Amino acid sequence: MRMRVPDKPIVKPDTYFSLWKLTDEGVRSPAGVRDTVGRASAMIRELGGECHLYVSIGGPYDMIGVARGVDDTKIVQVQHAIRSLGALETTFIKTREFSYKDYRAYIRDVNRLRRLKL
């Protein structure tokens, strides 16, 4: 006899993209940038997360970090700590992975909200 698995969305951890730009100080100090990137990685690991770094080719950002396994409060703490080091300016964007089915349900909810009567 086969057991039917409930059709529930798989909850995946939130993903935070950090968009990094070199500051004037960072442009003048490659060693400071290297130190900041190393410290940022250590911060995420200390908080129980994992992270990966990408160097962008073109566009408005110099590097893109991807972190998982931390929460909103912790990622804001990391953002403030990175900024305080002076070499990088950073903006974090929180994302959530959706399956196509999950995204369709999300759009249904958006449309339902759009149709609310005042």
Are 43 and 88 contacting, i.e. CB atoms less than 8 angstroms apart? no
What confidence score (pLDDT) does residue 9 get? 54
The CATH class that applies to domain 15-105 reads alpha beta
What confidence score (pLDDT) does residue 83 get? 95
Which of the pair, 69 or 1, is modelled with greater confidence? 69
Mean predicted lDDT score pLDDT of the chain: 90
What confidence score (pLDDT) does residue 89 get? 95
What confidence score (pLDDT) does residue 88 get? 96
The mean per-residue pLDDT over the stretch 72-82 comes to 94
